[in-house]
Amino acid sequence: MINSKAVQMDAEIISNKRIGTYNHMVFSVDEMANGCRPGNFVAIAVGGPASSMVLRRAFAIYRASMRADGTGLLELVVAPLGNGSKWLASQVAGQKVNLIAPLGTAFGIPTQPVNALLVGGGYGSAPLFALAETLKSRGCRVDMVLGASTAGKIYAPLEGKRSVNSLTITTDDGSAGTTGRVSDVLPALIQEHEIDLIYSCGPMAMLEAITAITQQVGIVHQCSVEEAMACGIGVCMTCVLPVEGDDGVIRMTRTCVDGPVMNGNKVLWSKSRDIPDGVWGK
């Protein structure tokens, strides 16, 4: 079901700063910020009143906070790639955008202190910093791995780094940190820090590679998936992935309401993007 806290509103842009290849954008929202949890996302209408873009764009919530005056702040990390994200990144402070938030599931927080490894790819690091803070405040040990194709695509602001015990960086081209992919460094980190739990967010191929590791080692893997979404609120059925339910049945499951945070070990990742055999209703 849809996130019960979801609210639709026109939110003013408070600031929009270029950081590396990303835009860090801050929006003024009301108490809605209170309802946001790490992992939730926001759906934003793009292109203005005469837009040719009919669908909202989803963005992971980077940070949500309440100010003393009772107004809330919502922060996003936007990669200006296509028409919609470029439009959003070109909006300036003072302009308003229509958004719906919080949407989707949040990262589950363990009731006991555990050793958590947070893995982010590209702008997938965005929701991990708020998560790291929460985990820290619950007494967890938090290690982080961030990967990207190249250094400019690593999003790791200073204040974010403060809440982690260690930060490992990988880049495909070796322009920062270890040359290679996050999945290359995972096994060693899991062992070294005696990881109980992996949280991840990034491209689907990365999540699939992590799952291969977590399934093998047998540790919990909460991942935030990114499947193309038309509605973001559960009514269109475009955003599905094959996921095994608690009843053992594999269903094409909506990632906008039953995700984006899902149990990675239960997702039937399939590169070929088929309907795997055994899916209910195939």
Ligand X SMILES: Cc1cc2nc3c(=O)[nH]c(=O)nc-3n(C[C@H](O)[C@H](O)[C@H](O)COP(=O)(O)OP(=O)(O)OC[C@H]3O[C@@H](n4cnc5c(N)ncnc54)[C@H](O)[C@@H]3O)c2cc1C
Give contact residues for another protein (rule: CB under 8 A). 1-2, 4, 6, 8, 45, 52-56, 98, 100, 227-228, 230-241, 251-252, 257, 273-275, 279-282
Choose the one of ligand FES, ligand X, its own copies, none that binds residue 231, judging by a C-beta under 5 to 8 angstroms depending on kind.
Answer: ligand FES
**Part in contact with ligand X (CB under 6 A); list of ranges 29-37, 56-64, 107-115, 155-163:** 56-64
Contact 19, 80 (CB under 8 A): no
The 241-280 contact track toward ligand FES, x by CB under 6 A, reads -------------x-x------------------------
Q: Does 229 bind ligand X (CB under 6 A)?
A: yes
Long-range contacts of 275-279 (CB under 8 A, 24+ apart): 275/242, 276/242, 276/250, 278/250, 279/242, 279/250, 279/251, 279/252
Report how far Cα 250 is from the mean position of its chain's Cα atoms: 23
Which CB atom, from 141 or from 153, has the smaller least distance to ligand X? 153
Q: Which stretch binds ligand X (CB under 6 A): 5-13, 109-117, 137-145, 226-234?
A: 226-234
Beta bridge partners of 148: 171
**Among ligand FES, ligand X, its own copies, none, what does residue 52 contact (CB within 5–8 Å per kind)?**
its own copies
Query: Choosing among another protein, its own copies, ligand FES, none, which partner's interface includes residue 80 (Cβ < 5 to 8 Å by kind)?
Result: none
Q: Residue 77 in contact with residue 24, Cβ under 8 Å?
A: yes
For residues 44 to 83, the per-residue mask of contacts with its own copies, x marking binding by CB under 8 A and - elsewhere, is --xxxxxxxx-----------------------------x
84 lines the binding site for its own copies (CB under 8 A)? yes
**206/119 Cα distance (integer angstroms):** 9
Q: What is the DSSP letter of 6?
A: -
Minimum CB–partner distance for residue 282 and ligand FES (Å): 19
Cis ω before 260 (30° cut-off from 0): yes
Provide the 8-state DSSP code for 16: E
Out of 238, 252, 265, 275, name the contact with ligand FES by CB under 6 A. 238
Residues in the chain: 282
Question: What SS3 class is residue 190?
Answer: helix
The whole-angstrom separation of Cα 162 and Cα 186 is 21
- Backbone φ and ψ for 77, nearest 5 degrees, come out as -115, 115
229 binds ligand FES (CB under 6 A): yes
Shortest distance (Å) from residue 236 CB to another protein: 6
Q: Return the one option of another protein, ligand X, ligand FES, none that residue 100 interacts with (CB less than 5 to 8 A, by type).
A: another protein
Is the four-CA dihedral 124, 125, 129, 135 of positive or negative sign?
positive
Distance CA 139, CA 132 (A): 11
Maximum Cα–Cα distance across the chain = 54
Per CB under 8 A, residues contacting its own copies are: 46-53, 83-84, 86-87
Per CB under 6 A, residues contacting ligand X are: 41, 55, 57-60, 77-79, 81-86, 123, 126, 226, 228-229, 260
